[in-house]
Amino acid sequence: MTADDVGKEPVTRDTQLVLTSPALPAPAEPSGNSRQLVPYGRTSARRSWLRLAMLSLAVALGAAGGGYWWLHRLPPLPPGIAVGNGRIEADPIDIATKFPGRIFQLFVDEGSMVKAGQVVATMDTRDLETNLKRSEAQVERAQKAIAEAHANVEQLHAQVVLARQEIERAQSLLKNGWTTREVLDQRQQQLDGARAGEVAAVARVAVAEHALRAAEQDVELYKVNIADNALVAPRDGRIEYRIANIGEVLPAGGKVFTMIDVSYVYMDIYLPTLVAGRVKIGDDARIVLDAYPEMAIPAKVTFIATQAQFTPKMVETQTERDKLMFRIRARIDPVHLHAHAEAVRSGLPGVTYVRFEPKTDWPERLQGRP
């Protein structure tokens, strides 16, 4: 070391490397978790390129979606036709028991199509059948009582005839002096007694006939009750729910099935005041379901609510009046329902178009073709 080197820091190999190559980055340490440093300018350019690519992709997707909407958009409705959203509904009918009892048989299940008058279930009627046999026995007894009463009437009538003949003979003998007045009085008493017995016998015949009619009515009543324990479908439709099972004991009015009436299917929609006020009962309508967008189902307006819903407390301005919504019901043509009864389902969403201007023609897509 020379005198000039005194007071100076020793120059190492690393220091010389930095001094001779200031623009070069420091060498990476030989570590497995180290990452290579990337210049800031190169990273910024890459991010700008990614933003540009994503923006281009969004523009392309938007253009494609707009083109699809433009090609498949529905044409606007002509004046005189209103539209509202709703769901297909069908009237539910509960098939329930008339008397308390135990379910004996079930003949249908959920989803089964039934006809009006079809037996869907039967209840245990052994107690009613026993009472029916007892009433039938009472009918037979009443019939025999009537026969006996008629025989008594005949017997007493014969006694009346005999008493009348005896009194006539007594009267003839009394005229000739061959009998006494006492004998004539006895014959008269016999005739009066026979007549009274005959009247009583006739009354017993009437009582027996009344008893017969009462017994026969009991028989008819038990037959009706037994028939009512056979549960039948009141209308054509589909079994929607089975609520009870075989062997269950139900009270009077206990539900066994719930069916939907396929002859009364409708959709309720809500229209604002300006439109609902022009809709009339019987106006033509079309129902289009989301599941069948190509099918326009013919319908008729059958109900218009007399009271608005969503009504504010004070209705004074035009803006507030537009908030009034009236419920409109469009019922599907029953003839169309009968032809497609098996396809009827409740709860499907869709839209209903109501034509409140009769002179307006339906668009081609709403012509109501099957």
Q: What is the pLDDT of residues 169-224, one digit of tens each?
A: 777 776 777 767 777 777 777 777 778 878 888 888 888 899 999 999 999 999 99
**Rounded Cα distance, 41 and 114, in Å:** 78
Q: Is 100 helix (H, G, I), strand (E, B) or coil?
A: coil
Of the pLDDT bands very low, low, confident and very high (cuts 50, 70, 90), residue 299 is very high
**Over residues 230-252, mean pLDDT:** 94
- What's the CATH architecture for 94-123+230-250? Beta Barrel (2.40)
Domains 81-90+260-366 and 94-123+230-250 are alike in CATH topology: no
**Over residues 270-290, mean pLDDT:** 90
Buried b (16+ CB within 10 A) or exposed e, 48-73: eeeeeeeeeeeeeeeeeeeeeeeeee
Given a contact cutoff of 8 angstroms between Cβ atoms, the answer to whether 271 and 82 are in contact is yes
65-97 per-position pLDDT tens digit = 554 444 344 567 788 899 999 999 988 999 999
**Rounded Cα distance, 107 and 231, in Å:** 10
Q: Which residue has the tokens 């066994």?
A: 256
Given a contact cutoff of 8 angstroms between Cβ atoms, the answer to whether 327 and 302 are in contact is no
Of the pLDDT bands very low, low, confident and very high (cuts 50, 70, 90), residue 35 is very low
pLDDT of amino acid 75: 60
Domain chopping of the chain, boundaries: 81-90+260-366, 94-123+230-250, 126-228
Handedness of CA 281, 340, 85, 292 (dihedral sign): negative
Q: Is 169 helix (H, G, I), strand (E, B) or coil?
A: helix
pLDDT of amino acid 156: 80
> How deeply is 296 buried, as exposed, middle or buried, from its count of CB atoms within 10 A (0-12, 13-18, 19+)?
buried
Does residue 40 have a pLDDT over 60? no
Show Cβ contacts of residue 76 under 8 Å, excluding neighbours closer than 6 positions. Answer: none
**Over residues 115-136, mean pLDDT:** 94
CATH of region 81-90+260-366: 2.40.30.170
**Rounded Cα distance, 296 and 366, in Å:** 5
| % the chain with pLDDT above 70 | 77
318-360 per-position pLDDT tens digit = 555 556 788 999 999 888 787 777 777 788 899 999 999 888 8
pLDDT of amino acid 360: 87
Size of the chain, expressed as the number of residues it contains: 370
Given a contact cutoff of 8 angstroms between Cβ atoms, the answer to whether 366 and 305 are in contact is no
What is the DSSP track for 256-310?
EEEEEEEEEEEEEEEEEHHHHTT--TT-EEEEEETTEEEEEEEEEEEEE-SS-BS
Does residue 266 have a pLDDT over 90? yes
pLDDT of amino acid 22: 44
Region of poorest pLDDT, from 100-104, 161-165, 264-268, 350-354: 161-165
Number of C-beta neighbours around residue 102 at 10 A: 14
Is the full-model pTM beyond 0.75?
Answer: no
The candidate with the shortest Cα–Cα distance to 324, out of 312, 340, 341, 339, is 312
pLDDT of amino acid 34: 43
- Average pLDDT of the chain is 79
Q: Give the helix ranges, DSSP H, for the chain.
A: 13-20, 40-72, 126-176, 181-228, 273-276, 318-321, 334-339
